Structure 1
Amino acid sequence: MSTDLPPTPDSRSELVQFILLARDRGTSDEFISKLLRDYGWPSREVERAFFEVYEGLLGRPLPTPRGGSGELARDAFFYLLAFVTLGIWIQALGEMAFIFINHLIPDALNNYYGDPSWQVAFALARLLVAYPVYLGLMRQINRDLTTHREKHFSGVRKWLTYLTLLVATIIAIGAVIAFLTSFLRGELTPRFLLKVLVVLVLDGGVLWYYFDWIRRKPAPKVLRLTVDG
């Protein structure tokens, strides 16, 4: 029995032929798509191949989506502003926690932390402004994802979300490095430990939410057929 694997398609035309042959054998489009993605084919290449398959089957090109590049620019604006406001209110919340820790456990060697009333007011102002804006933007983004299911696979969504996750991961790594440095030097204090914990809790919350959010798939769309008569 030969153990040679079938030749791997190296062009989109071969990918289209592979999809057509698999469909002729009764394989579902969902299984073919998952198989190709798991095998290493980029999602965009798989999508384009399916576009060609259905254009050939229907004998007409796919309709051009509304919005085009303008829609992408709008999405990029919403995502960028959402992630910027996320950073603002998370940083403000962390600063307020730091102020509370400094008040709870003062440093005997350094009692000067600036004017706490001004610091609290500035942090609270950022929180009160940025957080509602962030909630409104995320509500609009999630509404768009529900209405336009294809936006789950948008490059804008993936690139900007993973960029945010990269920044959050770097911050978490920096906090752990600072913790270990103080621990190894024997300078670990309750105040410093609490501040590191605040950073890890806030940063971990962002990482947990957005790693789960970016992996969400659109709910299956139920098509209802009406039969006249």
Structure 2
Amino acid sequence: MQAKDPVGQFVHDALVADRSREEIRAALEQAGWFRDEIEDAIGQYATIDFKPPIPVPRPQPTARDVFIYAVLFTALTYTAIYLITLVHAILDLRMPDPADAPYIEFRATERMRWAIATLLVAAPVYLWMSRYVHQRVEKNARARRSPVRKYLTYIALFVSSMTFLGDATYLIYEFLQGTATLRFVLKAATVGIVTLGIFVFYLRDVEYLKGEK
């Protein structure tokens, strides 16, 4: 326990002095501490009747966790973006619009090549890292409590949900304007499917983490 944590130190000393958790909560509330601060401090110690009080495991970020999950979510980002790019390029080639500029076909071909090259690198890296993380979590209880994993998972949920909502909003706007072509609808559907898939996958991951507590 760190000396810079006065509430945690107080809870520790109070438990050693055989004060009940209810008494500790009441005293801290009367002193002006917020309820979430109080519960976080009390939650540092197990409810086992033992002296001195037993600290519960607290997740700690490590450089290894930062590296692993940064690579994982970067590969996920590249895979999602260039999968969408590939499908959009194919639609531009297969469903040309008479209003398209002459160079659209050339640009679509270039985007396809770049997207394929990126996917051949990013997708295997993402799949391999996902498998590695899953095995690591299954074998190591500490890995399940990684705060880096938690924060990046919620960032993935936020970004994917905001992208899906923006995509749906733009699709509805185009329909209301009467300018939604079949190609546009298919492009919007591609974005929606990819982002919704990411959201559902990592939402299940969050639920799994909750079940581990």
Task: Return the letter of the residue paired with 1:76.
Answer: V
**Partner SS for 2:77:** helix
Distance 1:88 1:143 in 2: 23
Residue of structure 2 in register with 1:73 after alignment: 63
Q: Is the 8 A contact 1:89 1:127 kept in 2?
A: yes
Give the TM-score of the pair, scaled to structure 1: 0.69
Residue of structure 2 in register with 1:144 after alignment: 136
| Pairwise CA distance, 1:215 | 1.4
| Pairwise CA distance, 1:164 | 1.3
Q: Is the 8 A contact 1:146 1:218 kept in 2?
A: no
- Unaligned residue ranges in structure 2 (runs of 5+): 1-6, 23-34
Shift in alpha-carbon separation, 1:168–1:64, aligned structure 2, 3 A = closer
Q: Is the 8 A contact 2:44 2:55 kept in 1?
A: no
Residue of structure 2 in register with 1:205 after alignment: 197
2:39 is aligned with 1:49: no
- Unaligned residue ranges in structure 1 (runs of 5+): 1-10, 20-38, 221-229
| Pairwise CA distance, 1:128 | 0.5
Render the CA deviation track for 1:40-95: whole Å, top value 9, x for unaligned. 78985565121xx55x7275976999xx96x6121111111111110101111111
Task: Return the letter of the residue paired with 1:179.
Answer: L
Q: Is the 8 A contact 1:149 1:218 kept in 2?
A: no
Distance 1:215 1:115 in 2: 42
Task: Return the letter of the residue paired with 1:137.
Answer: M
Select the residue among 96, 102, 106 that pairs with 2:96: 106
2:144 is aligned with 1:174: no
Give the count of matched residue pairs.
Answer: 187
Percent of residue pairs identical: 23
Select the residue among 117, 125, 130 that pairs with 1:125: 117
Task: Return the letter of the residue paired with 1:149.
Answer: A
Higher mean C-alpha deviation, range 211-220 or range 152-161: 211-220
Distance 2:38 2:201 in 1: 25
Q: Is the 8 A contact 1:82 1:137 kept in 2?
A: yes
Shift in alpha-carbon separation, 1:217–1:170, aligned structure 2, 3 A = closer
Task: Return the letter of the residue paired with 1:146.
Answer: E
**Partner SS for 1:57:** coil
Q: Is the 8 A contact 2:75 2:126 kept in 1?
A: yes
Shift in alpha-carbon separation, 1:43–1:151, aligned structure 2, 3 A = farther
